Structures are given as C-alpha cells and as structure tokens.
Amino acid sequence: MKASKSKAGNPLLFRPEQHSVRLNESARRMCMPEIPAELFLDGLRKLVAIDAAWIPPQEGSALYIRPLMYATDESIGVRQSDTYKFIIMCLPVGPYYNQPVKLKADEHYVRAVVGGVGEAKTAGNYAASLLPARNARAEGYDQVMWLDAIHHKFVQEVGTMNIFFVIDGEVVTPATDGAILKGITRACAIQLLEDKGHKVVERPVTIDELVLASQNGTLQEVFGTGTAAVVSPVSLIGYKDTRIELDPDSFTIAPMIKDTINKLRTQEVEDKFHWLEEVI
Ligand SMILES: Cc1ncc(COP(=O)(O)O)c(C=O)c1O
C-alpha cells in the first residue's frame, strides 16, 4: 500500500484494513499463518510514524509499503513451514508510469488459471511474469496484458494493475473469477465511478471484443488501476498482428479517477468513504 502526507504533515494510510484482509486471504491460500488485523495495523502505524520523514512531498510520490512473509524453517521439502518471518518494508517512490502504457496481449504465456494462485498476492505470480514481460519489452511494449489460460481469449489484468475499458460510453472491467487479483484500487475506482453516476459492468471481456470495438470506433478508453500506478492510461494494445491504438488525450474517465484518488491522498477532496487513516 502507500502512505502520503496529511495536510497536518502526518502519514496518511490508504485503506490499510483492506490490505490486511487481502494479506490474510493470500496467506490462507499459501498455507501461511494469518496476521491478526490489529497486530498488523498497529505495527504498520508504528513503523510509518517512525518513517514519516521518508514520505516524499512531491505530487504523485508516496511511501510505498510492502508487507512480506516468508518461510524460515531450516529444511528443504515441499511442505509448509512451521516458522515464518513477517516484515514490512517501506521505500519512497515517485510516479510508477509517467507515460501512457503500451500493452501486449500475450497469446502464449499465461499468468494464472482458475483454481491456481492468481488471486493471491504471492511472489511466484510475479516470478512467472518476468520472462513474458521481458519479451514484451523487447517488442516495444511496457507490460503484458494477460489473457485467460484456457481459451487465451478473456482479458484478465496487467502486470501490477487491473484493467478497465470504456466501450460505447459504458465502463467495463473483467469480472474477478479466482484468477485475477482483487485490486483495492479497482474496488475504489468502481465505487468512485458509481458515486459519480457511471454504471460499471463487471463481466468477461474478450480480446476479440476489444479488437472489434476498436475497429468500429466504440473503444473510447483503456486504463489500468493499482496501488503503484494509481491510474495509468493505455495508448496501445498489441495482439497478434493487430494494434489497438488509443488516444489518452481524449480520455475523460481515467483522468477523473486518477485526479480523485490523488486528491484524496493529499486531502484536497473530502474522504467521504473513509478510506484514509491519519497516523498521529
Ligand atoms: C497482479 C496485480 N494485479 C492488480 C494489482 C492492483 O491491486 P491494488 O489496486 O490492490 O494495488 C496489483 C498490485 O498490487 C497486482 O500486483
């Protein structure tokens, strides 16, 4: 998660309790112990208070907070560990992507399959993504847009972001199906959009539908959401020989959500959903 600075100069945590819930959901899937929410949140508050001076003041920058758990048994074997170390790392970060992103819809490699560990925030998911991401970069893309593992057709998500499309005026995002990470920024974006009167449809989205919508002019916006990237407009999706090109300068919905989340983080707009916690 990220911490910004409140107007009073104190650390501001963004939805820490949601991160605690997801950490424990991931831990359950990996046979790791759960961290009691209060223990996690209290430790987090104390750490962020100590590290408050590391919160960068620049717009779009923040203190990135990475809770991490790993096995520490002194043995080798395919079994769960009896002992674990739980740590929280903090590091100041600037904006993740400062340009619109170019995505490659990968037709060969996959990230996750229903029944697997795609919904867990576990390191193996990221390890498995390194080679396809490197290949995509060699072809001029920034990230992979993952398609489902069985049909290679349904869009899942991107590197470290969930993905949204605006098709013919309607905001659409792939429904979480067990193989997609349930992004906290995704949930915020849905809630903010609904609050502003936009209907958000969570449903399966195929790459063919996107190609068609691009060809008939109804694909208006594509953007990713995530803690690191906040909201990142997409300027290109490459799929086989097709290039879906977008003009992020014409986007209205993505900048609106980005602006709202950034302003929430700097307390320039009212926190009406109580997403922020000031550490005093
Ligand atoms: C694979 C993946 N998908 C989506 C996200 C976005 O999730 P969140 O909005 O909770 O940061 C992340 C980042 O945490 C991620 O690693």
Give the distance (Å) from ligand 1 centre to CA of residue 179. 12
pLDDT of residue 132: 98
- The answer, yes or no, to whether residue 103 has pLDDT greater than 90, is yes
Return the higher-pLDDT residue of 222 and 98.
Answer: 222
- Segment 65-89 shows an average pLDDT of 96
pLDDT of residue 257: 97
Q: Ligand 1: which of 160, 176, 257 to mutate, most ligand atoms within 8 Å of CB? A: 160
Strand order in the sheet with 276-278: 84-93, 62-71, 2-5, 11-14, 276-278
What is d(CA 35, CA 139) in angstroms, rounded to the nearest whole number?
Answer: 41
**For residue range 31-44, what is the model confidence (pLDDT) as tens digits?**
999 999 999 999 99
- Segment 149-157 shows an average pLDDT of 97
% of the chain with per-residue pLDDT over 90: 94
User: Which atom of ligand 1 sits closest to the CA of residue 187?
Assistant: 9
Average pLDDT, the chain: 96
User: Which atom of ligand 1 sits closest to the CA of residue 1?
Assistant: 11
- The answer, yes or no, to whether residue 50 has pLDDT greater than 90, is yes
Which residues are 101's β-sheet partners?
234
Ligand 1: which residues within 6 Å by Cβ? 157, 160-162, 181, 183-186, 225-227
User: Which atom of ligand 1 sits closest to the CA of residue 188?
Assistant: 9
Atom 13 of ligand 1, residue of closest alpha carbon:
160
pTM of the model: 0.96
User: Which atom of ligand 1 sits closest to the CA of residue 181?
Assistant: 3
pLDDT of residue 58: 86
pLDDT of residue 96: 79
3-state class of 104 per DSSP?
Answer: strand
- Segment 102-109 shows an average pLDDT of 97
Helix (H) or strand (E) holding 207: helix 207-215
Atom 12 of ligand 1, residue of closest alpha carbon:
160
Atom 15 of ligand 1, residue of closest alpha carbon:
160
**For residue range 112-149, what is the model confidence (pLDDT) as tens digits?**
999 999 999 999 999 999 999 999 999 999 999 999 99
Atom 7 of ligand 1, residue of closest alpha carbon:
183
Domains of the chain by range and CATH? 2-95+266-278 (3.30.470.10), 101-264 (3.20.10.10)
What is d(CA 128, CA 110) in angstroms, rounded to the nearest whole number?
Answer: 9
pLDDT of residue 60: 81
**For residue range 204-263, what is the model confidence (pLDDT) as tens digits?**
999 999 999 999 999 999 999 999 989 999 999 999 999 999 999 999 999 999 999 999
pLDDT of residue 119: 97
Q: How confident is the model at residue 174 (pLDDT cuts 50, 70, 90)?
A: very high
Let me know: does 161 contact 234? Beta carbons within 8 Å. Answer: no
Q: With the C-alpha atoms ordered 66, 200, 113, 237, is the resulting torsion angle positive or negative?
A: negative
Segment among 22-36, 55-69, 121-135 with least mean pLDDT: 55-69
pLDDT of residue 95: 81
User: Which atom of ligand 1 sits closest to the CA of residue 18?
Assistant: 10
Q: Ligand 1: which of 21, 96, 162, 265 to mutate, most ligand atoms within 8 Å of CB? A: 162
pLDDT of residue 142: 97
Give the distance (Å) from ligand 1 centre to CA of residue 177. 15
- The answer, yes or no, to whether residue 97 has pLDDT greater than 80, is no
The Cβ-side half-sphere exposure at 25, using a 13 Å CA radius, reads 15
Q: Ligand 1: which of 66, 185, 190, 192 to mutate, most ligand atoms within 8 Å of CB? A: 185
